[in-house]
Amino acid sequence: MGLEYLNVIDEVSDDIVERALSIVLNPPIQAINLEGSIARREPFIPSQPTIEYIEVGRLQQIMGPKGLEIFLALDQIVSLTPYSTLRSADPKSLVEVIRYLGGKLHGNLRKIHSLKAVEFRGEDSIKEEILLVLPSKTQVDNVRGKQGLWIWREKTRYGVESPEFEGLVSEILSIGEKLVSLGLKVDVAVDSSTYQFVEDRLYKFNVVTLDMPVDKLKTIYVRDQSVTWLPNPIIGNMALPFRRGEEGVVVEIYHKLGLTPLFRVRWALLGNILVRAVMEGGNFFVIKGGGGDVVVLSGIGVRGSNWATFKVLGELLPEDVRLVGVPLAGYIRNWELGAVHLDVVFSYLGDLGGVRVALVDPSRLGFYSLLEYDRRTGLFKPVELLKLMRELEVIVDEPPRDGASVITMVNALNLGRGRLVADGFNESVNRYLERSYGVEVIRVDIPHLEAGGGGVRCATRELWRS
């Protein structure tokens, strides 16, 4: 279905909105847990995907004939409401907020319908503003002793226990300080309880404070909850239950920065059910080819985009933006053997001296079997990565792996013009890029971020202003 359902809120009374809110905040979700297909020979296995859906008939039974439209419209508005507002507002006040934000969403709908492919910022676009997020000590303490559940190594590559509050904060701020020294504007979202510990290092940054939920430490990987291909961010949905809710925190941060999110990718209609979309920013790359082509690559894997995500993006984005899924290696017992996101196995460096270059780890992604989404049929067709890269006038290269981290080997923040901010631990990769392509590699040391499964790209989010 199209996006016109957003207009339905104008047609219903406040009483109906208030009653429907209770359903939106506690929807009748059914789930298929895929962990049930895995032999449990260990006491613990890393989290696997869950397929979540809602029966349309159930929504109509509860909210009437327009139950589907009311649910989708309200869910969209609520999902783009700052989490502190949802937490503190009483039902009647929340209805007023819904009406106000619903009016803004009408403007967003007009923006969506007028989008053009040329407006999209590619991975190699010149960056001017970067967002970072600092955790609280309580968030860090909440993970220690439960690293397995949080997909976090107990020790860094240097043998230091992880996560560790001072270490994490220092690593994130060091990235910010490097970026400021390069002339970029850096926004830092700080948990209120953390501010006093780092106040003397914040003067270089644009700082916003907020109270972050104690169970959302991985919000520091601020790449994941949104995509910023345009001045207004598009918010996604985290796949794993323990990371759900980070999206609302990031929505709050964007509001504080004056960047109202454009849309949230939430549900796709399949027959008589709504399927929850899974969309994490680390899975996405925008590549703009020499002929003006715009391709959005999206990882498909343990936390990769599902069919629902492609369907919603197909309805949202301009028709001349191609949507291509990249199958990723998974995991059963050891999460480090898989590829959680596309950006740990693929990186687009852009134009380097007249040659467009992408880095790949061909052992952990579908090197010969990508899947291009057809909006007309809703189906996927196979396409080889090398054929797609040829069409985009991009060459692919595999960097040396000697002594490199599989997590951060290619996970770097591309500042444009051949400049990368990368994990200094991967010296064989960094020197290779400098010698072979003339890349300027700005090195940072991030052992705690790496232990948590992320790199520099994961911990940063580029922002654009109109």
Outline where 114-240 has alpha helix (H): 137-143, 165-181, 195-198
What's the pLDDT score for residue 98? Answer: 80
> How many angstroms separate the CA atoms of 456 and 136, rounded?
19
Could you give the 3-state DSSP secondary structure of residue 126? coil
Give tens-digit pLDDT for 291-301: 778 999 999 99
Residues whose CB is less than 8 angstroms from the CB of residue 303 and which lie 6 or more positions away in sequence, other chains included: 49, 238, 239, 240, 278, 280, 283, 340, 341
Length of the chain counted residue by residue: 466
Give tens-digit pLDDT for 45-100: 777 888 999 999 999 998 888 889 999 989 999 999 888 888 877 777 788 888 88
Residue (of 325, 341, 324, 332) closest to 406 by Cα position = 341
Domains of the chain, each with CATH number or no CATH: 4-113 (no CATH), 117-463 (3.75.10.10)
Task: Compute the average pLDDT of residues 29-51.
Answer: 79
Contact by Cβ (8 Å): 113, 319: no
Beta bridge partners of 188: 132, 207
The structure's pTM equals: 0.94
Task: Compute the average pLDDT of residues 145-153.
Answer: 88
Q: At 66, list the tokens.
A: 């327009």
Residue 153: pLDDT band (50, 70, 90) is: very high
Contact by Cβ (8 Å): 124, 178: no
Q: What is the DSSP string of 361-385?
A: -TTSB-TT-EEEEETTTTEEEEE-H
> How many angstroms separate the CA atoms of 462 and 126, rounded?
10
